[in-house]
Amino acid sequence: MLVVNAANKDKDLQWILQNKIDDCQVEDKSDEITQLAVQGKKSEETLQKLTRIDLAAIKYYWFTEGELAGVPMIISRTGYTGEPGFELYFANEYALKVWDAVMEAGKEFDIEPIGLGARDTLRLEKKMCLYGNDIDETTNPIEAGLGWITKLDKGDFIGREVLLKVKEEGPKRKLVAIVLEGQGFPRHGYKIFKDNQEIGHVTSGTVSPVLNKGIAMGYVAREFAKVGTQLEIDIRGKKVPAVVIKPPFV
């Protein structure tokens, strides 16, 4: 079961179909399943009211199957916010029932629905990559700092030989975390400079409501990726000072 970036669902499906081997069967069930992400420090307390499953026993990035709010589902300790939380997967017909049950259970904790804007700020504060911004078909996991989930010693896979070469030679650029030292809102595509030399570009950016500062991720030439390196980001024609930090931001 794959949960893909929604905007890229069709593209990902076509890639899977083109590369499937032997008698592997692929089924697109996107329109049959609802996914609800319940995130935050009170997520476990909220959901525990609705199930007999011991949610505390589910380890990070593990899942179980069972009932919650009387509905059969997959319950995984995952999320895209950097906060403690769960993702629930169940048949569409139960969507309103589960939503209402979760909102009622979380009422005492002031639960609120949030949209993609809030989600994007949260994931960026934890330096979580977003496909289409920080990673895409032009990037590789070594330069994106995702080597820890790219197991080069677990047998052959598409792209392995290329990645072995990148790891041996070292990436030419790296995805870094950057905090603005001046006022500004860094955005995707803005150019990054060092001593008036263009050395990279911003892939994701926002103003962190926790830090009250502009934060960004961006690719820079490898020699400028060291923590503490002073940089500048061109924001609407003005070069704003910034510094490379050790992630996460928050």
Does residue 226 belong to any structural domain of this protein? yes
Q: Look up the CATH number of the domain holding residue 103.
A: 3.30.1360.120
Does residue 135 belong to any structural domain of this protein? no
Does residue 151 belong to any structural domain of this protein? yes
Q: Look up the CATH number of the domain holding residue 162.
A: 2.40.30.110
What is the pLDDT at residue 113? 97
Domain end (from 120, 138, 172): 120
What is the pLDDT at residue 26? 95
Residues 12 and 69 in one domain: yes
CA distance 31 to 33: 6
Taking only the tens place, the pLDDT of each residue in 25-76 is 999 999 999 999 999 999 999 999 999 999 999 999 999 999 999 999 999 9
Own/partner pairs, 136-145, CB within 8 angstroms, 24+ separation? 139/175, 139/219, 140/166, 140/171, 142/166, 142/167, 142/171, 143/171, 143/172, 143/173, 143/174, 143/175, 143/219, 144/175, 145/174, 145/175
Residues 108 and 153 in one domain: no
Residues 38 and 107 in one domain: yes
Residues 74 and 10 in one domain: yes
Residues 102 and 159 in one domain: no
Range of the domain at 221: 147-245
Residue ranges in the chain modelled with pLDDT below 50: none
Domain tally, the chain: 2
Does residue 125 belong to any structural domain of this protein? no
Q: HEC string of 210-233?
A: CCCEEEEEEEEEHHHCCCCCEEEE
Residues 12 and 112 in one domain: yes
Any residues with CB less than 8 A from the CB of 112 and at least 6 apart, and which? none
CA distance 170 to 211: 33
Any idea what DSSP says for residue 26? -
What is the pLDDT at residue 7? 86
Residues 64 and 110 in one domain: yes
Any idea what DSSP says for residue 55? G
What is the per-residue DSSP string for 128-192?
---BTTTBSTT--TTTTT-GGG--TTS---TTHHHHHHHHHH--SEEEEEEEESSS----TT-EE
CA distance 230 to 136: 27
What is the pLDDT at residue 6? 83
Does residue 48 belong to any structural domain of this protein? yes
Residues 11 and 105 in one domain: yes
What is the pLDDT at residue 106? 98
Tokens representing residue 138 in the block: 């032009």
Does residue 137 belong to any structural domain of this protein? no
Does residue 210 belong to any structural domain of this protein? yes
